[in-house]
Structure 1
Amino acid sequence: MHVSSESIRETFLSFFERNGHLRIDGASVRPRNDPTLLYVNSGMAPLKRYFTGAETPPAKDLCNIQSCIRTKDIDDVGDRHHLTFFEMMGSWSIGNYFKERAVELAFALLTEGFGLKPEQLYVTVFEGDKELGLPADEESARAWERVGMSRDRIVPQPAADNFWGPAGSSGPCGPCTEVFLDTGDAYGPAYVPGGEFDTTRRYIEIWNAGVFMQFDKGLDGTIRPLPFTSVDTGSGLERICLALNGLDSVYQSDLLSPVVNVAQEILGESGTPETRHLVIADHMRAAVKILADGVLPSNEGAGYIPRRLIRKSMTVALRQGADSFQFQPLADTIVDTLKDHHPGLLGRKDAVLAALDAECREFGTAVRRGLDRVSTLIESGGTVSGADAFRLFSTYGLPVEITRDLVAERGAAVSMEEYAAEYERHQRLSRGGERTDRRLRVDDVLPASLSGVPVTEFVGYERTEAEARVVGLFEEGALAEAVGEGGEADLIVDRSPFYAEGGGQVGDHGVLTGDDGLRGEILDTVRHSSGHHLHRVRVSTGELRAGASLRLEVDRESRRDTMANHSGTHLLNAALRTVLGDHVRQAGSLVDPRRLRFDFTHPKPMTAQELAAVEALVGEWILRDEERRVEVTSPETAKSAGALSLDGETYADEVRVVSFGDASKELCGGTHVPHTSFIGSFRITAEQSVASGVRRITAVTRGEAARYSLSQGTELAAVARLLHSSPAEVVTAAERVVKQAAAKKVRGGGDAHAEVTRSESGSGVKAAVVSGPQDVAGLRTAVQRVTEQESRATLGYGGETRLNVVLAVPGDSGRSASKLLKELLAGFGGNGGGNDRIAQGAVSGADGDALNRRFLELLG
């Protein structure tokens, strides 16, 4: 009997609820305040602060289902059980029960809740480690024996397999015990006690039944007991589907098989799914989840992962002979399989499709050339160097992992070390040289001496000055007792008025002063993963010492301008939703003292009238002098009251809600003006596309807005003088000049030297042929002009023995210029490409009249 993923979810959560665990929601795959991770990769990751004692959990025992992204598993995708995106069913006990109870619960759920037989299972335990000075975990082994597991099914394993952590160079860690499913003789020989335990084919891990955090590893390598112990468990939903239904692979589960079927369909294939179908299904499923949680594809950081996944899927499809990559059927199926348990997915579907479309269009134009280049390199030299791989990435956008796989299929290898060196050299040149300073990174694990120090108290909402005490002083990333004049340091204090970069707002800068003539510049403020504010300091005079008392002063002018831009961003968001509609969602922002930048979802460029309406509305709210109101409440209460929040963002139990009258209400931790009149003035300086379906507005406030308006007025006056007009009539004068120039060129005069012949096809479609210009640029200009001004399908050609050909169609014609061009040139041995509106190509030895006749035939 088939066991659905739906019933498995409920069995798991209900079991732990009956056993005293509080069911909590899963978090976004985008980590919140955790720069150590690109993505949430385990059920425990969003709960780290509970385990370190930095925050108090809502209950000591918890359970949930958490979406996870494992980037390290990407290269293993296509086997029986590895996935990039999976759902982790997890349970935790924080300072409550420990190993024996964890094993009891795991065995009871597996055998009674899920109905697995003990003879189907093996478990592993930590075998001990002499270098760590830790004995074997006999406590866990005995606990398994007590619940009924025979000793020959309890397999000791080394630290590499059964000892977790720490996450960095120091911190919480401990042994773990894992449960494996025996999938039978068809997948290899049975385990013999003392022999090799095959965890890649026959025995598949279905549950890490306990990471037992009981130790604290110091920076000196010493392992000491933690003040309290905790249990962290995790079981992959997809793997439990495999186990309970006797499947050969996770791809046969109801979560993945519909996606695999669509992957086969888009390749025009059927039968038993092959690795390529599994790779496309996994990669697109992970990409959709990542995009839905608000990450856009890019060349670095978190954005590189969806880019790599999408481009690998496209490459696989195109190498199989597909004309294009049909992402929408895959995305529709993925959303349909996930929507019931990922409620934000449906609301983000349009944004996901827009991001996929933009990525496919951008990469599609280059991927075939990149693949051809890989083949040429292999055929000419038998291999691809690391430098070649980097050039393929920088020129064609071909991720190095794809190049590596293509080369491996030919029996060769890419030097990843050489690639990494080329990439680093490129990064160095981009930055303008090598950095030699060593700062404390925001993801560095702090020394044990700071583990119990409360996080920095931020007092900057109320004031820009504060007395503070140094609780942590670092030079070149290491603890220091003192930093002298001219030195640079990273500073942690007990309280600070300096805002730490976050929520799109840059960190504050200013000065510090102290005894004995101490003075230093605070160059920037960032938030450490521990919650402390890190102040980047340069000591100007005197000596900065650990434990010293200081006076901290924020640069007031910079803070004032930043607050104006941040409040202006909130008003801009509200105005966009008023003018364009409620489909507008924030997709990113940047707020600094000079400007504000706001990314938002919208399917097309804004018109001049829409931009003017947004500017006017923000200006009206500024003039109303709306008072800032701040309320601290729960995220649920805030959202139910109409406060805007970021899609996919995970919020703390209490959030700040910032309101300005009836104009704006948002969840926000940033700093803001007390009244909207403090914004002074608001001017939009640019509106542009940053991805398909995502627009960006750049704007300025206060003094920058006044300077922008003055500059515009000066330039307008200059243009008016050139056109012999007044500023009030400059638009009319400019339109007259443009029309005169356009009419001259269409007639064939001027610099274009274009001749235009107008006609109709057999079915009455208005057409035109442009001839004359020899180069593609001239042809495109002439063809576009005729198409736009006369709403005609237009063919342009020019040249001698080799004709350059350009074809354009009106936007409302219902035809595709690229398809028409391919059909046109196919009969003459030429080739080309483009988009639905305009396309270009070339053909040798063709007659222009013959091209024209065939063009009219195709139109009618």
Structure 2
Amino acid sequence: MSVEIKLTSTEIRARFLDFFVGKGHLKVPSSSLVPRNDPTVLLTTAGMQQMIPYFLGRETPPAIRLTSAQKCFRTTDIDKVGNQRTLTFFEMLGNFSVGDYFKREAITFAWEFLTRVVQLPAERLHPTVHPEDNEAPKLWSEIAGFADEAIVRLDDNWWGPPGASGPCGPDSEIYYDRGVEYGCGRSDCQPGCDCERFLEIWNLVFMQYYQDFDGSRTPLPRPNIDTGMGLERLTMVLQGKESVFDTDMFRTLIDYFADLAHTAYGRDAKTDVSLRVLADHVRALVFLAADGVLPSNEGRGYIFRRILRRAVRHGKLLGLDKAFLAEATDVVAGLMGDYYTELRTQRARIAEILSLEEKKFSQTLNTGLALLSDLLATLKLRQQKVIPGEDVFKLYDTHGFPVELTQEIAAEQGFTVDTAGFEQSMQRQQERSRSASTFVQAQDDRALTAILQRVGPTEFTGYSGVTGNGKVVALVVNGEEVESISAPQQALVVLDSTPFYAESGGQIGDRGDLSGPLGIFKVEDTRRPLKGLIVHYGQLNEGHLRVGESVQAEVIGQRREDTMRNHSATHLLHKALRDLLGSQVEQRGSLVEPERLRFDFSSPRALTASDLAQIDTQINRWIRADFPVQTNIMPLQDAMETGAMALFGEKYEDLVRVVSMGSSIELCGGTHCASTGQIGIYITVQEASVAAGIRRIEALTGRAAEAYLRGRSATVESLATKLQTQPDGLETRVEQVLQDLAAARRQIAQYQREEAQRQAEQVAQQALQIADAAVVAASVDAPDDKVLREMGDIVRSKLGQPGVVVLAATFGERIALQVSVDAALTKRGLHAGKLAGAVGARLGGKGGGRPESAQGGGKNKAELGAALDLVPALVKEKLK
């Protein structure tokens, strides 16, 4: 049974918002599908998401009563889209109170809107509440006349905090009774049943508690209201439709695709599924693109790509062989562009994104579907139901066919995928790729040489800042020039001008982003492989990039700033070393990166602690002086006449860049601070030799130096606490502890000697008499090998006659052997090394040594007794 009122979805949205504006609410625009300041989710999933900062008190709301129609996106049921109800993109209508009204007003507003504004029959509306919420049932009874037994209690009527802690509370859901013909037939069928009869249309959340990390809850001083009602579901009910896809929100799109495919909706169940998938997915793609989401293989970009690929596949199932997504942008904009104006202002950009991605994937899909179809047919003949991982990888690696699409198609036909085999094939391919890197490098060099000859040198604009505009003049992939790239391709990008510094002069290359109209390229390194040519190395993370496009280039600012501090400090270090050690000091290499600086220099001697203290003091004095860092371009000869220092062995152009700060003057093409004061602080952390006559200093500046000092300070505080003293008294306390420790060690050593003496005497008394020799083979307790040897000497001295001594001691997992034989017995054939070898072999190890003294051992503790039992027999054999 349907209601009589017939409203369009646009009218329903407007009536909702106007109703709550009339109740003193401020209408706020929908936030982006890309959440602001919320790293816990990839996309906006609920209408209240933009309200969370207000509910948590982190931001001041524009009003304490708010209402909105919010764009939402949920990804958990992508594979189910195509049935009668499941959507990815949808609109959530909501009204919100930030510490103003609470349950009574929320229930009153909801009941009034549903029964009076959109005139739903009151007898078809059924509220549910949480079992522990005693207030809401009374309000529903008072406001809407529900008997207590007619109000259903459901345990899942509870809204939890967005994280481990935060606001939470019970909720009340309003269900619409579609009629018994949609039910399960059970007598106890009611809201919350899994059947299709009762449809939830509105959720009223009463946020009245704060949940702590331990799960405890305390009442909020000012509770909040958050409600959410799906526009698609409400429209379905008000228009009396069987499905959300039958409403005006979708039928225009469905009929558009049906006309393209020369079919009609409702004619064939399989075709209808594909039409519904297209209607949902195209809406989703248009809105994602409008909010800046671009196709990629990660995060929300992967969701975009996966949805587009499903849409293209279902288009193929409908027989749509030509590109169709870009033109559908106009249909979506026509349906929803009046309220969501970004669909019209960005129409051309959205269409181009969809067109490029569809074109890129269509050929892949055609080839992959044909190959997968042949593969499945072969497996069916063999009566196999698992697609081998190697075949799945071949489809992916050779033909670019997505794994998730293989899995989806396989599942439709009753197959599964060997994912473990796929991962193994992927790993083998990665190993092969690493081994081929040298060949690719040579190809890159050839391509870049041709590019430099064609487009000329790159203009570097990074001395004045970390951002700039440039035009893509070349793209290189695997050593070949290409016209365009798509995420997630790795590539080399050449611009006509760039603020990215290319690695040279010891300073590492910049990192950052190149943002084009349709894609974002992540720059992982910047180099100058050829004189004059700056090349950006990295990966396109989102969308597409083409030759000829203009991009916004942005270097990671903090990384550049840290690098500049270290570079300017390197110049000051060079000057300080020459002042201390003399003009014979020459720079022999350097590394300037964000985390540290490394400076190699010629020096006839190592630097003392006093030398390093002088250097640190001098450099920090220059930093505090805040000398301006000045640069000048001048002829090389003029630069040398100013006293500028040049790098040893470096070749320079006729015109050079001279960088001066205080009394430091050097030839340098790198980036620097505006003044020495920006370096902040300098600390030498290591000085060492790297070659004959070459020393190396490693140092920290700025943030890294601060972190280093904080770490050292924390260590001192921790040690002082553990040693029960103050930081100022730590050195004295450590000296005392060391003295106590030395005394304790002496006492332990004395005890060990006494214990060794006692054991040795006891073992000597247990000697066996074999022929005319005393034989000892025993296991003893000893702290180390040294004491074990001493015990062997003591036993021999106590025997009173020529003897053989074999002692064993266990040290952790290892058994150690000490063997000694009197010289008189070695003349008769006994050999300590051979005895050690025989016993050690029985222990699973080995042994050896001189005739009079030897060592050995093993790890087979279970054989220790049997190994020692070998000794008397071996001695008897030699002396018989």
Q: Calculate the TM-score normalised by the size of structure 1.
A: 0.50
Q: Which runs of 5+ in 2 are unaligned?
A: 435-460, 472-494, 502-509, 520-531, 568-630, 637-649, 655-880
| C-alpha distance in structure 1 between counterparts of 2:322 and 2:125, whole Å | 45
**Structure 1 SS opposite 2:95:** strand
Match of 2:367 among 366, 369, 378: 369
Any conservation in 2 of the 1:171–1:217 contact (CA below 8 Å)?
yes
2:544 alignment counterpart: 690
Q: Deviations over 1:45-65 (max 9, x none)?
A: 112100101111111111011
1:181 alignment counterpart: 176
1:299 alignment counterpart: 297
2:409 alignment counterpart: 406
Are the structure 2 counterparts of residues 346 and 141 from structure 1 closer, same or farther at C-alpha, using a change threshold of 3 Å? same
Deviation at 1:202, TM superposition (A): 2.0
Any conservation in 1 of the 2:173–2:202 contact (CA below 8 Å)?
yes
Any conservation in 1 of the 2:191–2:198 contact (CA below 8 Å)?
no
2:517 alignment counterpart: 601
Query: Does 2:205 align with 1:218?
Result: no
Are the structure 2 counterparts of residues 197 and 219 from structure 1 closer, same or farther at C-alpha, using a change threshold of 3 Å? closer
Deviation at 1:399, TM superposition (A): 4.2
1:265 alignment counterpart: 259
Are the structure 2 counterparts of residues 102 and 699 from structure 1 closer, same or farther at C-alpha, using a change threshold of 3 Å? closer
**Amino acid in structure 1 at the alignment position of 2:136:** S
Any conservation in 2 of the 1:65–1:87 contact (CA below 8 Å)?
yes
1:106 alignment counterpart: 110
Any conservation in 1 of the 2:516–2:545 contact (CA below 8 Å)?
no
Q: Deviations over 1:612-632 (max 9, x none)?
A: xxxxxxxxxxxxxxxxxxxxx
Percent of residue pairs identical: 34
Deviation at 1:290, TM superposition (A): 0.2
Q: How does 1:596-745 map to 2 (within 5 A)?
A: 597-601=513-517, 690-691=544-545, 695-696=550-551
Deviation at 1:280, TM superposition (A): 0.8
Match of 1:14 among 13, 18, 42: 18
| C-alpha distance in structure 2 between counterparts of 1:422 and 1:158, whole Å | 45
2:684 alignment counterpart: none
**Structure 1 SS opposite 2:152:** strand
| C-alpha distance in structure 2 between counterparts of 1:350 and 1:289, whole Å | 13
Any conservation in 2 of the 1:191–1:198 contact (CA below 8 Å)?
no
Q: How does 1:320-719 map to 2 (within 5 A)?
A: 320-379=318-377, 380=379, 381-384=384-387, 392-393=395-396, 395-414=398-417, 564-566=464-466, 568-569=467-468, 594=510, 597-601=513-517, 690-691=544-545, 695-696=550-551
Match of 2:161 among 162, 166, 191: 166
**Structure 1 SS opposite 2:77:** helix
| C-alpha distance in structure 2 between counterparts of 1:30 and 1:348, whole Å | 16
Deviation at 1:196, TM superposition (A): 7.7
**Amino acid in structure 2 at the alignment position of 1:155:** V
| C-alpha distance in structure 2 between counterparts of 1:17 and 1:286, whole Å | 28
Q: Deviations over 1:660-711 (max 9, x none)?
A: xxxxxxxxxxxxxxxxxxxxxx99867999347965465889999999xx99
Any conservation in 1 of the 2:42–2:299 contact (CA below 8 Å)?
yes
Are the structure 2 counterparts of residues 315 and 219 from structure 1 closer, same or farther at C-alpha, using a change threshold of 3 Å? same
| C-alpha distance in structure 1 between counterparts of 2:408 and 2:347, whole Å | 31
Deviation at 1:185, TM superposition (A): 2.8
| C-alpha distance in structure 1 between counterparts of 2:410 and 2:160, whole Å | 35
Query: Does 2:1 align with 1:36?
Result: no
| C-alpha distance in structure 2 between counterparts of 1:20 and 1:141, whole Å | 26
| C-alpha distance in structure 2 between counterparts of 1:408 and 1:94, whole Å | 47
Query: Does 2:2 align with 1:148?
Result: no
Query: Does 2:237 align with 1:243?
Result: yes
Query: Does 2:87 align with 1:83?
Result: yes
Are the structure 2 counterparts of residues 428 and 394 from structure 1 closer, same or farther at C-alpha, using a change threshold of 3 Å? closer
Aligned length: 479
**Structure 2 SS opposite 1:405:** helix
Deviation at 1:29, TM superposition (A): 0.9
Q: Deviations over 1:229-255 (max 9, x none)?
A: 111101111111111111111112222
| C-alpha distance in structure 2 between counterparts of 1:198 and 1:109, whole Å | 25
Q: CA RMSD in A?
A: 4.2
Are the structure 2 counterparts of residues 362 and 217 from structure 1 closer, same or farther at C-alpha, using a change threshold of 3 Å? same
**Amino acid in structure 2 at the alignment position of 1:86:** F
Match of 1:233 among 204, 227, 230: 227
2:683 alignment counterpart: none
**Structure 1 SS opposite 2:94:** strand
Deviation at 1:316, TM superposition (A): 1.3
Q: How does 1:743-758 map to 2 (within 5 A)?
A: none
**Amino acid in structure 2 at the alignment position of 1:138:** N
| C-alpha distance in structure 2 between counterparts of 1:224 and 1:423, whole Å | 54
Any conservation in 2 of the 1:65–1:88 contact (CA below 8 Å)?
yes
Bigger CA radius of gyration: 2
**Structure 1 SS opposite 2:249:** coil
1:616 alignment counterpart: none
Are the structure 2 counterparts of residues 334 and 200 from structure 1 closer, same or farther at C-alpha, using a change threshold of 3 Å? farther
Deviation at 1:397, TM superposition (A): 4.4
Any conservation in 1 of the 2:166–2:212 contact (CA below 8 Å)?
yes
Match of 1:253 among 240, 247, 260: 247
Deviation at 1:268, TM superposition (A): 2.3
Any conservation in 2 of the 1:91–1:234 contact (CA below 8 Å)?
yes
2:100 alignment counterpart: 96
Q: Calculate the TM-score normalised by the size of structure 2.
A: 0.49
**Structure 1 SS opposite 2:199:** strand
**Structure 1 SS opposite 2:76:** helix
**Structure 2 SS opposite 1:37:** coil
Q: Deviations over 1:542-600 (max 9, x none)?
A: xxxxxxxxxxxxxxxxxxx999544x33x769xxxxxxxxxxxxxxx999882664323
Deviation at 1:190, TM superposition (A): 5.8
| C-alpha distance in structure 2 between counterparts of 1:311 and 1:231, whole Å | 39
**Amino acid in structure 2 at the alignment position of 1:178:** E
Any conservation in 1 of the 2:72–2:89 contact (CA below 8 Å)?
yes
**Structure 1 SS opposite 2:170:** strand
Are the structure 2 counterparts of residues 300 and 392 from structure 1 closer, same or farther at C-alpha, using a change threshold of 3 Å? farther
**Structure 2 SS opposite 1:294:** coil
Deviation at 1:177, TM superposition (A): 1.4
| C-alpha distance in structure 2 between counterparts of 1:376 and 1:714, whole Å | 63
Are the structure 2 counterparts of residues 163 and 599 from structure 1 closer, same or farther at C-alpha, using a change threshold of 3 Å? same
Query: Does 2:205 align with 1:205?
Result: no
Deviation at 1:40, TM superposition (A): 0.8
Any conservation in 2 of the 1:121–1:153 contact (CA below 8 Å)?
no
**Amino acid in structure 2 at the alignment position of 1:174:** G
**Structure 2 SS opposite 1:225:** strand
Any conservation in 2 of the 1:683–1:699 contact (CA below 8 Å)?
no
| C-alpha distance in structure 1 between counterparts of 2:86 and 2:266, whole Å | 19
1:285 alignment counterpart: 283
Any conservation in 2 of the 1:183–1:203 contact (CA below 8 Å)?
yes
1:72 alignment counterpart: 76
Answer 1 or 2: higher relative contact order, Cα 8 Å, separation at least 6: 1
**Structure 2 SS opposite 1:25:** coil
| C-alpha distance in structure 2 between counterparts of 1:125 and 1:430, whole Å | 60
**Amino acid in structure 1 at the alignment position of 2:133:** D
**Structure 2 SS opposite 1:158:** coil
| C-alpha distance in structure 2 between counterparts of 1:301 and 1:15, whole Å | 37
Any conservation in 2 of the 1:565–1:596 contact (CA below 8 Å)?
no
Deviation at 1:287, TM superposition (A): 0.5
2:854 alignment counterpart: none
Any conservation in 2 of the 1:67–1:87 contact (CA below 8 Å)?
yes
Are the structure 2 counterparts of residues 123 and 714 from structure 1 closer, same or farther at C-alpha, using a change threshold of 3 Å? farther
Any conservation in 2 of the 1:164–1:174 contact (CA below 8 Å)?
yes
Any conservation in 1 of the 2:290–2:350 contact (CA below 8 Å)?
yes
